[in-house]
């Protein structure tokens, strides 16, 4: 994850080719030139096995990464509105569709 860590940021950005196994639990990846400021060796806990699905791919060009390696997500559309009623208050809820995400990833 790059920059600020919050629950709506994408967890993984794209599949990268493994160049070599480093130590007992790390891999060196072939990163794109846009990510040349990031160290290319990652612990296995930060990696996931990729199962091919074109919906999962978020292109780096579509995400405007700033110099401090942060980016901003933009909501596109409100899909649903609801009100959660608790004992003493009610909380308005909305379900948002985000830019660069599919409808299954709406939050």
Which segment, 2-6, 10-14, 26-30, is predicted with the most confidence on average? Answer: 26-30
Residue with tokens 């596109």: 76
Whether residue 14 contacts residue 52, with contact meaning beta carbons closer than 8 Å, is answered with no
**Does residue 62 surpass a pLDDT of 70?**
no
User: What pLDDT score was predicted for residue 39?
Assistant: 86
pLDDT digit string, tens, across residues 67-91: 777 767 778 888 889 999 999 999 9
**Burial group, residue 54, by CB count within 10 angstroms (0-12, 13-18, 19+):** exposed
**Does residue 10 surpass a pLDDT of 60?**
yes
pLDDT above 70 as % of the chain: 77
What is the CA 71 to chain-centroid distance, rounded?
10
- How many whole angstroms separate alpha carbon 19 and alpha carbon 40? 10
User: What pLDDT score was predicted for residue 90?
Assistant: 92
């Amino acid at each position: 994850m790059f920059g600020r860590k919050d629950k709506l940021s994408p967890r993984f950005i794209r599949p990268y080719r493994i160049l070599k196994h480093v130590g007992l639990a790390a891999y060196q990846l072939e990163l794109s030139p846009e990510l040349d400021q990031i160290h290319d060796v990652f612990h296995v806990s930060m990696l996931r096995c990729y199962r091919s699905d074109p919906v999962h791919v978020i292109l780096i060009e579509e995400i405007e990464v700033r110099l401090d390696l942060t980016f901003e997500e933009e909501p596109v559309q409100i899909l649903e509105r609801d009100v959660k009623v608790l004992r003493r208050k009610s909380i308005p809820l909305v379900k948002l569709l985000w830019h660069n995400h599919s409808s299954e990833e709406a939050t």
